[in-house]
């Protein structure tokens, strides 16, 4: 079957079975498609939909996103994970307003130059929103191509990825590129799924090499596994007499980057008088009492983080905490829009309920 036949079958399938009611498909401006593509990176459609809708209500256009504070943006991103995506989205909106007159750029080179946008995302935005001819190679497309062409090896490896870009380019039609882009993404998301693929409903199953060889479950090859290193830390979960929580803004890089979190304390071995002196010196507060909470384990892409929460009460002894833009006392009943790390939100919500 020809490469042209591959795209024509996908287009015919899309017309009858493709998704047409996703929120970013309604009024598909470059801005709306771009936001959706960033949110959909490593995140399921069902999870993204409510976040996208809330995000659009708060930031309906590029100008409103660029003018917002990072806290406001991360507040609406909290829970989606991979927070660098939200920070880069915000930075890119500011770059677009500063360097492109507030209009989303229309060349692949300009779009790739924006923070947080790679070749595939740039191609998807320009294809879906502006109907330009660009191939894409997201996770769904890699899975479809790996199976249809029986490509061995992990798709993230440079040599395998180069081969897949060649296949993606060869199969992307000059006409109806936007529809083809949507079709191959939909095929990977709904039919050629990671587990339990529905090969009997696939429009290109007749010449799928993996299906013919009985290797659908083996492709694409998984990323080579390695044991994740373990890091340990202590979070100080402190309240003052007013019931406010002491929060600290995380550094831009690293876990929960740019979000507000409970202060990360010294090693667990530092207790008693030494811990009280550290809190007075570093946080400007006097510990009243403190007790260990249950150890929590968080798994990230490159390591596991095992954290011990220390719950306690504290009194402010230095006003610097209130005036410092890296620390604040947070009242959960306030309307302050903060980008809270998801574990922090869960702890506060649970304590408020209790």
Q: How does pLDDT run across 140-160, given as a tens digit for each residue?
A: 999 999 999 999 999 999 999
> Which of the residues 15, 37, 201, 264 is marked catalytic?
37
The closest of 128, 115, 97, 145 to 18, measured between CA atoms, is 128
Q: What is the mean pLDDT of residues 15-36?
A: 96
**Is 70 exceeded by the pLDDT of residue 220?**
yes
Give the strand pairing for 245-249 and 285-292. Answer: unpaired
pTM for this structure?
0.81
**Is 90 exceeded by the pLDDT of residue 127?**
yes
- SS3 state at 304: strand
pLDDT of residue 292: 82
Per-residue confidence band for 107, with pLDDT thresholds at 50, 70 and 90: very high
37 part of the active site:
yes
pLDDT of residue 306: 86
| Least confident stretch, 13-27, 143-157, 219-233 | 219-233
Per-residue confidence band for 324, with pLDDT thresholds at 50, 70 and 90: low
Neighbour-count burial of 116, counting CB atoms closer than 10 A to its CB (0-12 exposed, 13-18 middle, 19+ buried): middle
Q: What is the mean pLDDT of residues 106-121?
A: 97
Give the strand pairing for 304-316 and 230-239. Answer: parallel
Q: Which phi-psi region, left, alpha or beta, contains residue 259 (left: φ > 0; alpha: ψ -120 to 50)?
A: beta
**Is 90 exceeded by the pLDDT of residue 234?**
no
**Is 80 exceeded by the pLDDT of residue 301?**
no
Per-residue confidence band for 339, with pLDDT thresholds at 50, 70 and 90: confident
pLDDT of residue 269: 56
Structural domains in the chain?
A: 3-218 (1.10.340.30), 230-353 (3.90.79.10)
What percent of the chain shows pLDDT beyond 90? 60
pLDDT of residue 265: 81
Q: What is the mean pLDDT of residues 209-228?
A: 94
Residue bearing the bigger pLDDT, 345 or 98: 98
Q: Which phi-psi region, left, alpha or beta, contains residue 54 (left: φ > 0; alpha: ψ -120 to 50)?
A: alpha
Strands (E), the chain: 230-239, 245-249, 260-261, 264-265, 285-292, 296-299, 304-316, 327-330
Task: Please give the DSSP secondary-structure letter assigned to residue 135.
Answer: -
Cβ partners under 8 Å of residue 103, min gap 6: 62, 96
């Amino acid at each position: 079957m020809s490469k042209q036949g591959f795209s024509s079958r996908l287009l015919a399938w899309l017309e009858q079975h493709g998704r047409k009611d996703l929120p970013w498909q309604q009024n598909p401006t470059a801005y709306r498609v771009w936001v959706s593509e960033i949110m959909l990176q490593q995140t399921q459609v069902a999870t993204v939909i409510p976040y996208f809708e809330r995000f659009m209500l708060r930031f309906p256009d590029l100008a409103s996103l660029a003018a917002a504070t990072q806290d406001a943006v991360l507040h609406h991103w909290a829970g989606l994970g991979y927070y660098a995506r939200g920070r880069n989205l915000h930075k890119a909106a500011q770059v677009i307003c500063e360097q492109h007159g507030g209009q989303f750029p229309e060349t692949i080179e300009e779009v790739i130059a924006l923070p947080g946008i790679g070749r595939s995302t740039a191609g998807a935005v320009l294809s879906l929103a502006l109907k330009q001819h660009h191939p894409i190679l997201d996770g769904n497309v890699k899975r479809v191509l790996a199976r249809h062409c029986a490509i061995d090896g992990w798709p993230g490896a440079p040599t395998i990825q180069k081969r897949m870009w060649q296949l993606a380019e060869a199969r992307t039609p000059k006409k109806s590129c936007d529809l083809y882009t949507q079709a191959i993404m939909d095929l990977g998301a709904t039919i050629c799924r990671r587990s339990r693929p529905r090969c009997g409903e696939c429009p290109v199953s007749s010449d799928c090499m993996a299906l013919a060889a009985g290797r659908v479950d083996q492709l694409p090859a998984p990323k080579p596994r390695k044991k994740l290193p373990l890091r340990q830390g202590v979070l100080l979960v402190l309240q003052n007499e007013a019931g406010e929580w002491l929060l600290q803004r995380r550094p831009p890089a690293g876990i929960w980057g740019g979000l507000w979190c409970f202060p990360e304390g010294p090693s667990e071995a530092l207790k008693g008088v030494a811990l009280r002196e550290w809190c007075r010196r570093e946080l400007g507060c006097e510990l009243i009492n403190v007790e260990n909470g249950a150890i929590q384990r968080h798994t990230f892409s490159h390591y596991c983080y095992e954290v011990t929460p220390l719950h306690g009460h504290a009194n402010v002894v230095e006003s610097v905490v209130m005036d410092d833009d890296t620390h604040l006392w947070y009242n959960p009943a306030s309307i302050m829009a903060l980008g809270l790390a998801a574990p922090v939100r869960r702890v506060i919500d649970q304590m408020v309920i209790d």
